[in-house]
Amino acid sequence: MIRAQTLLKVVDNSGAKLVKCIKVKKKGGKMCGNIGDVVLVAVQTLRPRYGRRVRLKMNKSEVHLGVIVQTRRLYRNKAGLGQSFGSNSVALITRQSKPLGTRISAVLPSRLRALKWTKLAAMAKRII
């Protein structure tokens, strides 16, 4: 359950470390977002740059789109099995729904693959 003003951890290597949710998109008046929903986020903190050759794809306080990939709230699937994660996390995407980063350093739920986010699922190190 992600609402406006929620701080989210970024799990890809796009350059951001922590973002703040501004709005949950395309929910038809509902205020909360769950796994697989698109949110509008503002960058709060950046990852440290290691050397001058590293070029960041973003700056602080920029606005980007992101997909919610992990939530702390327990989600039950149709079989009745529950799934929750340790933090609220997001993967950043472009306006054309393509990932900004090239790697995802987190475990993603298999539900993302069914929700048209197969590119994100393919970049993850593990899917449960």
| Domain assignment of residue 86, given as a range | 7-102
Q: Determine the Cα–Cα distance for residues 43 and 21; give it in Å rounded to an integer.
A: 9
Domain total in the chain: 1
Whether 18 maps to a domain, the answer reads yes
Query: For residue 76, is it within any domain?
Result: yes
* In-domain check, residue 122: no
Cα dihedral across residues 59, 64, 67, 73: positive or negative = positive
Q: Is residue 90 part of a domain?
A: yes
Pairing relationship of beta strands 104-108 and 124-127 according to DSSP bridges: parallel
| CATH number of the domain to which 97 belongs | 2.40.150.20
- The pLDDT tens digits for 6-28 are 999 999 988 889 999 999 987 76
Is residue 121 situated within a structural domain? no
How far apart (Å, rounded) are the C-alpha atoms in residues 33 and 6? 11
* Tens digits of residue pLDDT in 25-48: 877 667 888 888 999 999 999 888
pTM summary value: 0.86
Can you tell me the distance from the alpha carbon of 3 to that of 57, in angstroms, rounded to the nearest whole number? 26
| 69 neighbors 89 (Cβ within 8 angstroms) | yes
